[in-house]
Amino acid sequence: MRLLLLAYFTILLSAAFLPASSSEVRHARNFEIIDYGTHRMLSVSNAFRDSTQIHHYALVPKRNELPELPEAATVIRTPVERVVAMETVYIGYLEALAQLDTIIAAATVDYISNPKVRQGVAEGTIQPVQVGQAIDVEKLLLLQPDLLITSVSGDAAFDIPAKLERTGLPIVLSAGYMEQDPLARAEWIKFVAAFFEEDELANQIFDGIEKRYRKLETRTKQIEDKPTVLCGAPYSGVWHVPGGDSYTARMIFDAGGDYLWSEDSTQGGIPLDTERVFLKAAGADYWINPSFYRSMHALYAADARFAKFAPAKNGQVYNNTRQVSPSGGNAIWERGITQPDKVLADLIHIFHPDLLPEHELVYYELLQ
């Protein structure tokens, strides 16, 4: 009898820590959400290249008592109401979730393009907390955010300083930028939504994004005559062309383009000099994303040899700079992350104008 009772209580105790369910994540590889009934556990992996650490965040509703939790988990009480966005990419997710009003501080505010957030910065309702690499830790402590969301690169010179880590503020790392698929990056809206208990809204938004993206993608599936595409521009003498397994390469493929480095399996950039890029891509049909340049004059001023590339001669150089703010913020890295279907439509219109003749470019512009 005693053995039966012991087994009974063991089963009850184990059940308390068993996941009740996990949220459906169809494309993103770097996070998961598991519901334990009393709380939900968000786990983030692959926070930067070659990282093996998994970061755990226990989301506990404010209306509930704190349950027993693993020591390694950072506790976040939900729904959060005071958010610090340390990169502009989060503004796109927050805008889609109608949570811009929760932003109380942001980093590198000059690179924010969202008009409402810029207005908040100008009026003082959103505090700037980072200029260059200098983070104002004292101001963050005074603000007492519910959530400070950021990402890391693995380079200590650019990542969260130890002084900030020691504050005990609720710092959450994301890894959306490490996803190579446009739909995977968009699906991180589910991760952000979990902090606001807005999972159903995020699912509805993402389902729409996925449906529109797949519909556009279908239109390029049967295309045999794919134009060749060159991408990027050199910086400080090095031309980091996107690898063949990168976010940009995938977007070009889905748009029906033949990316010239598609055979390379690199996920990040491939460092090359201009001469090597010219040897491979001088005769490309299109040139997209040439750094920050917004005119052919500016492009040639940087390097007169660019005029020898076929897309430059033929007037087929496009950049994703249509919505750049006066201070340099680019909406494609905010709203564009949650609108990969519109970015894809832009590229299809550029590579195959006959497929989407009525489409008006949203993020891209033809350099004149």
Residue-wise pLDDT tens digits, 317-361? 999 999 998 888 999 999 999 999 999 999 999 999 999 999 999
**Virtual CA dihedral for 286, 289, 290, 296, nearest 10 degrees?**
60
pLDDT of 21? 63
Q: What span, in angstroms and rounded, lies between the C-alpha atoms of 131 and 128?
A: 8
* Higher-confidence position of 20 and 299: 299
Among 7-21, 108-122, 228-242, the least confident range: 7-21
Question: What's the average model confidence in pLDDT over 25-45?
Answer: 95
pTM of this structure: 0.90
Q: What is the pLDDT of residue 154?
A: 75
Looking at this protein, which amino acid is placed at residue 201? L
Question: pLDDT at position 162, please?
Answer: 72
Residue type, 97: L
Q: Does 4 score more than 50 pLDDT?
A: no
Neighbours of 238 (CB within 10 A): 11
pLDDT digits (tens, 9 = 90+) for 250-262: 999 999 999 999 9
pLDDT for the residue 19: 58
pLDDT at 153: 78
For position 190, what pLDDT does the model report?
97
133 pLDDT above the threshold of 90 = no
Give the mean model confidence (pLDDT) for residues 144-155: 89
Alpha helices in the chain (DSSP H): 2-16, 89-96, 115-123, 137-143, 162-165, 182-186, 188-194, 199-218, 247-254, 274-281, 296-302, 310-314, 340-351
Task: Return the H-helix or E-strand segment holding 31.
Answer: strand 31-35
pLDDT score at 157:
67
Determine the Cα–Cα distance for residues 260 and 50; give it in Å rounded to an integer.
Answer: 26
Percent with pLDDT over 90 in the chain? 80
Q: Which residues contact 175 (CB under 8 A, 6 or more apart)?
A: 30, 31, 44, 45, 46, 47, 48, 151
pLDDT tens column, 179-194: 999 999 999 999 999 9
User: Region 1-25: what's the mean pLDDT?
Assistant: 52
| Token reading at 199 | 């999972």
The whole-number pLDDT of residue 356 equals 96
Q: Three-state SS across 189-253?
A: HHHHHHCCCCHHHHHHHHHHHHHHHHHHHHCCCCCCCCCEEEECCCECCEEEEECCCCHHHHHHH
pLDDT-based confidence at 7, cuts 50/70/90? very low
Indicate whether 14 pLDDT > 70: no
Domains and CATH numbers, the chain: 21-207 (3.40.50.1980), 224-366 (3.40.50.1980)
Q: What is the pLDDT of residues 274-299, one digit of tens each?
A: 999 999 999 999 999 999 999 999 99
Question: What is the arithmetic mean of pLDDT over 38-51?
Answer: 91
Mean of pLDDT values over 39-50: 91
- For residue 16, the model assigns a pLDDT of 47
- Other beta carbons within 10 angstroms of residue 262's beta carbon come to 19
* CB neighbourhood size of 250 (10 A): 21
Q: What per-residue string of b and e applies to 76-104 under the rule 16 or more CB within 10 Å gives b?
A: bbbbbbebbbbbbbbbbbbbbbebbebbb
Name residue 132's amino acid. Answer: G
Region of poorest pLDDT, from 100-114, 159-173, 344-358: 159-173
Q: What is the pLDDT of residue 22?
A: 64
